[in-house]
Amino acid sequence: MQRSATFVILLSAAVLGGCWSSDRAAVQGAAAPSGPVAAPPPVNLAGKWTLSETGAGSCAMTFGAQPEAVEGTIAPAGGCPYNFFTSRKWSYTSSGLMIRDHNAQTLAQLVPAGDARFEGKTSAGQDIALFR
């Protein structure tokens, strides 16, 4: 009788031990990044910027982000050219800085053009600049 109880305990421990190791492996696998990690922008984007388009004016935009963030929020001030008053999100990828509206539609794509300057085009093809 004691032999069968010992066998049941050992068998249970082995089964539970197997579950533990596969659960742990699944959790570790889920926590691993699935692709390349995006590099942060060349400057900390948090703070006030000026968005300018030749012939259409300019406006202030406040970018929200933690240091070395690859995405964040945008709070545009009044008077932004074109539809940049709808700007709400930014993200930085290998293609550059993307500005998106409240519906996640791309408004512009810009690339670094100096220490605190980005240049690019709107989704409609107009030249724009973002600078401090």
- What pTM was computed for the model? 0.70
The residue that leads in pLDDT, 105 or 35, is: 105
**The dihedral sign for the CA sequence 56, 61, 67, 69:** negative
Which residues are within 8 A (CB) of 43 and not within 5 positions of it... i.e. 6 or more apart? Answer: 112, 115, 116
pLDDT at 117 over 60: yes
Mean pLDDT value of segment 115-132: 94
pLDDT at 122 over 90: yes
Residue 131 identity: F
Mean pLDDT value of segment 107-126: 94
Report which of 35, 41, 36 is spatially closest to residue 97, judged by C-alpha positions: 41
**The dihedral sign for the CA sequence 125, 126, 130, 131:** positive
The residue that leads in pLDDT, 105 or 14, is: 105
CA distance 96 to 118: 9
Which is it for strands 106-112 and 47-53: parallel, antiparallel or unpaired? unpaired
